[in-house]
A and B are shown apart, each in its own frame.
Chain A
């Protein structure tokens, strides 16, 4: 149980275009999802907390107009990187709380974004 599906697993896009990443909880309802960014050989940095039916809460330094988050249902949250630039190239991972087995944080498989 507590499976989080994330796709695409990798994407290459041109500078200036937008990319959407989806995160789905397959067997549980996730009222809260988290979006992380991870640069090579670095830790996971929280970008934003996504709550179903309300606006996302962004961490300091994260541009909300560049990283659009939508959490329209209890099983789906999306992250759209708008007007992507090479410096946005990174590994993006979502996580959801399943509420089972204690705190139950489950991670998606991650998306490798390369902007050329």
Chain B
């Protein structure tokens, strides 16, 4: 099955700095890679996603890049704000495009 590795596990930045979270996946047939933001005790919220036919996608301060050859994808947050503080999860579909496999999460702390 699919295996998703995520780094770093914790990330502390100053307000206004950029934050980068990286993930690798194992199943070359995976073709959908969403990123979720989860605040304490709440449901994961989709913040951005990318499909394997695209190398990069951007939505305001958030961007995701995908390198299919290397099987890794990254989340980039620019001009970070304290409200960006949360746990971020990357995920990938399996080859049957049914279940999502999650990374272990990155706790992002943005200090004012």
Write the residues of chain A forming the contact surface with B, with a CB cutoff of 8 angstroms: 32, 34, 41-46, 49, 91, 93, 95, 97, 102-103, 105, 107-110, 112
* Contacts across chains A and B counted by CB atoms under 8 Å: 46
Contacts of A91 in B (CB 8 A): 41
Query: Secondary structure at chain B's binding surface: helix, strand, loop or mixed?
Result: strand
B89 at interface by CB-CB < 8 Å: yes
Q: Which residues of B contact A43 (CB under 8 A)?
A: 89, 102-105
Q: State the Cβ distance, A44 to closest chain B Cβ, in Å.
A: 5
Interface size band for B: 20 to 34
Decide if A32 touches B98 in the complex (CB within 8 Å): yes
**B44: interface (CB < 8 Å):** yes
A3 to B34, CA, bound (A): 18
The smallest C-beta distance from A11 to any residue of chain B, in angstroms, reads: 14
Q: Tell me the complex Cα distance, A45–B105, Å.
A: 12
